[in-house]
Amino acid sequence: MKAVLLDRDGVINSLVYHEDAGVIDAPFKRSQFKLLPRVPEAIRLLNDVGLKTAIVSNQPGIAKGHLKPEMLKTFERRMLSEIHSEGGHIDRIYYCLHHPNAKEPDLRQTCRCRKPEIGLLEQAAADLHVSLQECYMIGDGIPDLLAGARAGCRTIFIGRWKCEICQFTEGAVVRPTLVAKDLWEASKVIRAEMAGNSPGISAEPLCATGID
């Protein structure tokens, strides 16, 4: 394996409960953007085992009128600064800014870059000079897993894979290769695989029973 493709919201930074809209979504304000625990260390670990890293993220907030392009760049600068402060780096960043129901006419379209389509993944692989079959795709949502599977990546789901989710998915293609509770754990799973060891901490069943 040569590269790791990462979703952003829910993997790199926290999701936010927007009380006015009653939804959990990406951050819209500067004060809402916070990296999840041990993310910079996880990125550094991936760098240390020789893997290139790229973020491939659906970011329809501008299209929906939730934030301005300048705020998206502010989030990006903060993210890269905090990762760099721990000795890590991201090689490439790709956003899909489109949405089929966008308020902004220029961004209202059905595109090939919005996951679960694989346009972002293809661009990242081309720019990193790797094949998609040599990539991990890490995400916390069904579109991430579908895109990764369609592209031929090895997929890692961040979170807890529940039977309730399985009942509403599009079949076996969406089921992740591995499951990890966060990016730090996922990076250790990858390091174990790169070393040819069994990644014991990925042993959580794909369909877990019980209620959190």
Return the pLDDT at 128: 98
Return the pLDDT at 160: 74
Dist. CA 55–CA 35, nearest whole Å: 14
Catalytic residues, which ones?
Answer: 7, 9
Q: pLDDT tens digits for the chain (212 residues)?
A: 999 999 999 999 999 988 887 788 899 999 999 999 999 999 999 999 999 999 999 999 999 999 999 999 999 999 999 999 999 999 999 999 998 888 888 889 999 999 999 999 999 999 999 999 999 999 999 999 999 999 999 999 998 766 555 545 556 567 899 999 999 999 999 999 998 875 544 434 344 333 23
SS3 for 50? coil
Return the pLDDT at 172: 55
Dist. CA 108–CA 131, nearest whole Å: 30
Q: What is the CB-side half-sphere exposure of residue 4 using CA atoms within 13 A?
A: 30
Strands 23-25 and 16-18: antiparallel
Sign of the alpha-carbon dihedral angle for 175, 179, 184, 187: negative
DSSP state of 207: S
Return the pLDDT at 48: 97
